Amino acid sequence: MNIQRKYSLPNCTLLLEGLSDVTKVAQFQELRPELSILVNAECYISGCNQPLVGGREFFESLVRTVSAYAQEFLSNVHNPQAHNRESELVELQKIDSNRHRLIVHLEPISAGVQSNPHIKHPPIQIDLNTVQLFDLVEAVDQFFADTQTLPELSLELQPVTRRYGNTSQAVIRQAVPVTLGVSSLAVAAVAFSLIPAPPVRPPQPRTEVQTNSTAPSPPPTATPLAAVTPPPTATPLVAVTPPPTATPLASVTTPPTATPLAAVTPPPTATPNATPTITDLETLLHRVPEITDASQLRALNRQVYNQIHPAWTSRSVLKQDLIYRVGVAADGSIVGYKAVNREANQAVEQTPLPNLLYNPANRERTPNEPIAQFRVVFTKRGILEISPWRGYTAIPHVLGTKITDAHLVRDLNQKLYSTIRQSWGGKPTFTRDLKYRVAVNKDGVIADYEPLNQSAFDYFRETPLPKMFQSVYGSNVAAPDNQEPLAHFQVVFKPSGALEVTPWHGYQ
Amino acid sequence: MNLSASLTPFNSPPAETLPMILDTLPEPAISSHGCPRRARLQIDLILLAIEALELGGSEAVLTFAQELDLKEIIKNRVNLWRMRASNPLRRAHIRRPLSITEAKALVVIACYLARRLTVVIRQLLMIAQQMDEKQIPLEQNLRLSNYLERFRAHFKSRMNPRRSALLALNSDEKLNELAIHLLGQLLFCTGTAGMQRLWIGLFDGEV
């Protein structure tokens, strides 16, 4: 049985494909079978067109090196494991305190394919900034924490032995460029890696901050039928994982028993996969309270949309509308789903739902966590519709504290207008108003935006909003920051090119 | 009767048991009793960076000590101050060892505080990165300059400039670099295994 595991962060996605050991599977019919044989590993890094791809040797080397380099970054003590050119396919070099060079020596291709077996591939080099490096480390750590994927590989941290340790003043010294030993080693290593380079250049990393050029899934096979939807290739990286802030404080909570575990693709038939999920959602709903507050539902509705929309790539293959009832925890993670119509049951693999089920390794769940239910419809025209299962009981309000000072609101209003005005130009292709709710903090930095009408959903890429949001949060689908007081505005982009920004007066 | 007697330990664990949360951090295989010099320095600097990010950061340390059941180890403000003054670079350096347990408690709290600040940390790092690429001085960003200014002020008021280790940090620019580097380290503390990584790293080169 083919199994996929995905660990996604805003700047890095690790995708593992493999098989489970047949003898073990026979013994335990697990919902989330163990990936015990790794076939293929892919690592997508934002700003880099090509994923790093390899087999088990590459992957093991990657996790060893990344883990060792993370330790070096935290302690400022040279960690030999991170720079082992002789025996590792992957190495990491420090360029300065905010730039880190990931070097991958490709596995030799079998002689049959290669016309001249003596040609050595030049190593691939990718320069990461600290945030990108962290996302890579975090993806690796989430893999380590996942006991159902290659359980024999686990996080083993050991202090570097004294032999390698620098003087005890390393912390301070690093503030002055780099300790001399490390930097000269790095220079030597970089210089050495350039010597055998033949004219064929490795894919050069692009330096823009733009993070969404790499889609974690293979490009869709066909473009959507309905021209109104933005092309799937343009959608940002799926950030299924909530930011680490969401981790609950108590790290000793026992894992819940009733939560479903499944990220299996593709099982022999769709039915056995759907069955456990059905029971799980139902059991779950019997045991836990349901979220019914209209405002919270509205916020969750968006989070669910933001998860599913970019992940739904093959939009034109559906013959029928697929309808699901989806259970969502308060942090927006999808904890269960149930097919509502028969087609939905059979075609669940054509939706991104199985892949979006929360990964239990990412965070621990509190038992009896309340759940919200949504009706999720994948229409055959390629449109995604999400609404609360029981509708809204009241008019929803925007959650969180608000900035009320009239002067400040007026200032922010002007500031927001000029920020958007400056970055919005060109001739609009849409023919109807695009209406958004946009929230900013007291400094005028965008904290959240929400499309209010259908054309706003369809043409959001024409507005500067996703870029503004992404430049602050690293991803276009990051959970909005609502810890500080915000000022909310209604922003209307008109087909004439006019822009309107007015204080928010609630949902209509 | 015997049964009820044997149950007692479960209901009231003996007072000397350490909070369970500290068990996630392994005992380092070091010979000396207290923490090595670099560990004491690093813990204090990490906390200093948190204080520069968040007003009232040192109060938050005490609040979290309470919440995480570490009150037995970090009892009060004076106690916390004495632990941090074990940093050899402090003006008010106290020749007192920092025990492994105390260090663990501080690391746990620092990581919880960092997690709470994840969004801010990420944003500031992204801003710093972008300004760096565009060759704009970091001070031109209001939020970043607030952080850097506060960090420099804390650092200058608390560290002893006559220490030879600090002679290299003689300019605002170098302190800024240190502040940004600490920000990156704080980001790493927020991760799934961040706490363990920070902890193990404290003993690099010491075993």
Of the ranges A79-83, A186-190, A458-462, A479-483, which one carries the lowest mean pLDDT score? Answer: A186-190
Residue A432 confidence class, pLDDT cut points 50, 70, 90: confident
Please give the DSSP secondary-structure letter assigned to residue A451.
E
CA distances from A111 to A56, A88, A104, A326, B204 (A): 20, 21, 20, 50, 42
CA-based nearest distance A233→chain B, Å: 25
List CB contacts (< 8 A) between B115 and chain A: 244-245, 247
- Asked if B180 and B77 count as a contact pair (C-beta separation under 8 A), the reply is no
**B20/A252 CB distance under 8 A:** yes
Residue A44 confidence class, pLDDT cut points 50, 70, 90: very high
- Asked if A12 and A43 count as a contact pair (C-beta separation under 8 A), the reply is yes
* Residue A250 exposed, middle or buried by CB count within 10 Å (0-12, 13-18, 19+): exposed
- Asked if A233 and A215 count as a contact pair (C-beta separation under 8 A), the reply is yes
Q: Which residue of A has its CA nearest to B64?
A: A249
**A251/B21 CB distance under 8 A:** yes
Q: CA A169 to CA A147: how far, in whole Å? A: 38
CA distances from A54 to A16, A81, A111 (A): 10, 20, 17
Q: How many CB atoms lie within 10 A of CB A404?
A: 9
Q: Going by C-beta distance under 8 Å and a sequence separation of 6 or more, which residues neighbour residue B28?
A: A159, B100, B200, B202, B203, B206, B207
CB pairs under 8 A between A and B: 165
- Residues 8-67 of chain B with CB under 8 A from chain A are 20-21, 24, 28-29, 36-38, 41-42, 45, 67
Enter the tokens of residue B188.
Answer: 């790493």
Enter the tokens of residue A15.
Answer: 């995708």
Enter the tokens of residue A256.
Answer: 């819940």
Q: Over 60: is that where the pLDDT of A327 sits?
A: yes
pLDDT of residue A281: 64
CA-based nearest distance B49→chain A, Å: 14
Helix axes of B142-158 and B172-189: crossing angle, nearest 10 degrees? 100
Identity of the residue numbered B35: C
Give a three-class secondary structure readout of chain B: CHHHHHHHHHHCCCCCCCCHHHHHCCCCCCCCCCCCHHHHHHHHHHHHHHHHHCCCHHHHHHHHHHHCCCCCCCCCHHHHHHHHCCCCCECCCCCCCCCHHHHHHHHHHHHHHHHHCHHHHHHHHHHHHHHHHCCCCHHHCHHHHHHHHHHHHHHHHHECCCCHHHCCCCCHHHHHHHHHHHHHHHHHHCCCCHHHHHHHHCCCCCC
ipTM over 0.85: yes
Please give the DSSP secondary-structure letter assigned to residue A95.
E
Between A157, A165, A244, which is nearest B196 by CB?
A157
**A472/B206 CB distance under 8 A:** no
- Asked if A277 and A336 count as a contact pair (C-beta separation under 8 A), the reply is yes
Residue A110 confidence class, pLDDT cut points 50, 70, 90: very low
Helices (H), A45-91: 56-75
- Closest among A77, A97, A96 to A163, alpha carbons compared: A77
Q: CA A247 to CA B191: how far, in whole Å? A: 10
* pLDDT above 90: percentage of residues in chain B: 60
Helix axes of A56-75 and B194-201: crossing angle, nearest 10 degrees? 60
Of the ranges A144-148, A271-275, B161-165, which one carries the lowest mean pLDDT score? Answer: A271-275
**A71/B201 CB distance under 8 A:** yes
Range with the largest mean pLDDT of A264-278, A374-388, B78-92: B78-92
List CB contacts (< 8 A) between A153 and chain B: none
Between A137, A168, A176, which is nearest B168 by CB?
A176
Between B165, B194, B201, which is nearest A75 by CB?
B201
Mean pLDDT over all residues of chain B? 86
- Residue A410, CA atoms < 13 Å, CB-side half-sphere: 3
